[in-house]
Structure 1
Amino acid sequence: MHIPAPEEIRSARRRIGMTQAELAKRAGISQSMIARIERGSVDPRVSTLRLIIDVLTTAELPVIIAANLMHAPVESVSPDDSILSAVEKMDKMAFSQLPVLKEGVPVGCISEAAILSAIGEQRNQKGYHPKVRDYMEASFPTVPPEIEIETVVGILEQHHAVLVMKEGRVEGVITKHDLISLIIG
């Protein structure tokens, strides 16, 4: 662990716009201790420095919101599209599911599982040309663009994708794959 000099602590605190009192409260120590550490008049314990560093590091991390991570434009299909066109789009884009949008508003989603079901039924019915609406599933959850990514992570634990909506229209999409960029990026 790098042991910061008193002026490094003061500089980091000021850079993020935090007062000594705020730093002290978040670190669970007194404001007078922060002042003495920054003046260099006390040699703090390593555990105290670790608390201060953790608070400053966390405060410096940028807040990531859905709008920062979403992909746009959103590839989608219409409920009136044929299953065949959905398959072609999914194959071309290498997607396992697509949102179903009607005039920019989500009405469902179509997945590989739903398409396999359609293929099975189509074999038994000559002249049957299924539409996306016949096999679409419930829509992906929606979030506003300004929601913090931690909330989106929680939603993606239960769903394949999240649609980002603004003023009633889909603006973007976030998938589980997109979260990987947060880890490796």
Structure 2
Amino acid sequence: MQLPSPDELKQKRIDLGLTQSDLAKRAGVSQPLIARIEAGDVDPRLSTLRKIIDVFNDIEKEDIYLRDIMNRELISVDPNESIDKAVSIMEKYNISQIPVIKDGISVGSISEEMIVRSMANKKASEVSHMKIGDIMGDSFPTLSPGTDVKTASYMLEKHPAVLVLEKGQVAGVVTKYDILKLLSE
């Protein structure tokens, strides 16, 4: 049996769509240690190497990735569109939040909560004509299509949606509902 080289470990991590931080968290080691192992600066203990390989094996067994469940028909708005337009889209598609996309790049998000909050200080007619960019919040986090559902689930504990990026462009979205649908399949 041959142990993997630092370059092989790094390539395997990249192939599985993991960041050094993701791998470190799952293996129970620090991110700087992963970086040093991949750079060949340190010879890892056999137990550490086993943890890393176990993570790789577990991920390979997980056969559901974001590419398998993401919604490629992304519903989004432009930051220059009106709040009224965002509300219409939310009503039409029965959704409560929308990514704000400009030229294929995520620049923020808009939600029912943000709109209601802005109405606390302004009349509804004023808010409806405001631009989305005036009240939008932070962008949803992003992951690659090769990220497993388990990893995405951790992010969805804190965020309503995760955007999926391919070649730097938003290619799809995964929401909590998409994860829940897996229970009925």
Q: Give the TM-score normalised by the residue count of structure 1.
A: 0.63
Paired AA for residue 143 in structure 2 = V
Is 2:159 the counterpart of 1:159?
yes
Deviation at 1:126, TM superposition (A): 6.1
Residue by residue, what CA displacement relative to the aligned partner does 1:59-103 show, whole Å, maximum 9, x if unpaired?
996611110010111100000000000000011010000000001
**Displacement of 1:116:** 1.1
Paired residue for 2:115? 115
Distance 1:68 1:166 in 2: 14
Q: Cα distance 1:81–1:127, how it changes in 2: closer, same or farther (>3 A)?
A: closer
Structure 1 counterpart of 2:65? 65
Which residues in structure 2 correspond to 1:94-105 (within 5 Å)? 94-105=94-105
Specify the SS of the correspondent of 2:134. Answer: helix
Closer/same/farther in 2, CA of residues 128 and 151 from structure 1, 3 Å limit: closer
1:8-45 per-position Cα deviation (integer Å, ceiling 9, x unaligned): xxxxxxxxxxxxxxxxxxxxxxxxxxxxxxxxxxxxxx
Secondary structure at 1:122's aligned position in 2?
A: coil
User: Residue 122 of structure 1 contacts residue 128 of structure 1 at CA under 8 Å; is this kept in 2?
Assistant: no
Alignment of 1:37-48 (within 5 A): none
Aligned-pair CA distance for 1:181: 1.5
Q: 1:139 to 1:150 in 2, by over 3 A?
A: same
Whole-Å separation in 1 of the counterparts to 2:116 and 2:74: 23
- For the pair 1:150 / 2:178, whether they are aligned, the reply is no
Structure 2: gaps spanning 5 or more residues: 1-57
| Amino acid paired to 1:92 | K
Aligned equivalents of 2:130, 2:98: Cα separation in 1: 16
Aligned-residue offset at 1:127: 9.7
Query: Could you tell me how far apart the structure 2 residues matched to 1:118 and 1:174 are?
Result: 26
- In structure 2, C-alpha distance between the alignment counterparts of 1:125 and 1:110, rounded to whole Å: 18
Percentage identity across paired residues of the two chains: 38
Distance in 2 separating the partners of 1:175 and 1:109: 13
The whole-number CA distance in structure 1 between the counterparts of 2:128 and 2:66 is 40
Mapped partners of 1:161, 1:153: distance in 2 = 10
TM-score (norm 2): 0.63
Pick which of 127-136 and 92-101 moved more: 127-136
Query: Following TM superposition, by how much is the alpha carbon of 1:161 offset from its aligned partner in structure 2, in angstroms?
Result: 0.3
Alignment partner of 1:184 is 2:174: no
In 2, Cα distance between equivalents of 1:126 and 1:87: 14
Letter in 2 for 1:131: K
